Amino acid sequence: MAISFSLKGKTALVTGANTGIGQAIAVALAEAGANVAVAGRSEPAETLRLIEETGRKAVSIKADLSSIEPVQRIVDEALKSLGRIDILVNNAGIIRRDDLLRFSEEDWDAVVDTNLKTLFFLSQAAARAMVEGGAMGGSRGKIINVASLLSFQGGIRVPSYAAAKSGVAGVTKAMANELAAEGVQVNAIAPGYISTNNTAALQGDETRNRQILERIPAGRWGRPEDIAGAAVFLASPASDYVTGHVLAVDGGWLAR
C-alpha cells in the first residue's frame, strides 16, 4: 500500500500563523494540498499571499486567543469558509520572563490562558466538528499542538511557560486517549531552538548563541521549515497510527 503525505482535499485551521513557525506550517499544509484558515490578532497578509500562491484557498479569521471567548466563532467561521475542519494546528502562544521570586500572577495567567486553556477549548470545539462531520472509518481529523523543549525541561525565568507547555504535552496525551476511538489523532511538536524573530536576541548574543550551538548535535539553529515538515507528516494519512506523541524537532538537543 502506498504511503501518502498528500493533503489534497483537506482543510486546515492554524493559529498564530502571521510569521515564523506558524506561517511555515500554514504554507507547508497548503503546498501539500490543503485549504487553510489562519486565526490570530494580526492580519496575516504575507501568509495569505503565500498560501494563495500554492493555488489553495486562504482564509483569515481575526481573533484574540488570550481567552476562550472567540473559540466557537473561530470554528464556525472556518466551517463556513472551508466546509469542514480536517486539521487543527494550535501554534499561537506567548511567553513572559521574570525572576521566579518576582513572577506576577498577571504574567502567569496570561501565558497559561493563551498557551494551554485556549488551546484545549479550541481543540475541543474543533474535535466536535471533526467527529460530527467525518465519515465513518479511517481518520476523521488531526489535531497538532505546538509544545516546546520546556515540555520536558524547566527552563529559567519562564515558570508559567514551562508549566503551560508541560500542560500541552499532558493534554495532548489525554485528548489522544479519548479521541482515538472517534478517529481523531492528537499529537504535538516540540520545537528546539528555531531561527525566528522571537529568537533574534538569543542569536545576536555571541556568548549565548555559542552555548546553544555547542549543545545541539546538528550544529545549527532549526528553521521554521523543519517544524513544518513534521506538521505535514502529522497532518497526513502517513501518521494515521500515531497519536498521543510529542515529537521533538530539536536537532538532537534533548539527546545531549
Q: Which residues are catalytic?
A: 161
CA angle at 61 for the pair 60 and 65, rounded to the nearest 5° = 130
Which residue carries 528555531 as its cell?
A: 194
Question: Any residues with CB less than 8 A from the CB of 133 and at least 6 apart, and which?
Answer: 79, 84, 85, 140
Of 192, 191, 184, nearest in space to 235 by CA? 184
Please give the DSSP secondary-structure letter assigned to residue 110. H
**Sheet (strand 58-62) strand order:** 58-62, 35-40, 11-15, 87-90, 141-146, 184-191, 246-249
DSSP strand pairing (87-90 vs 58-62): unpaired
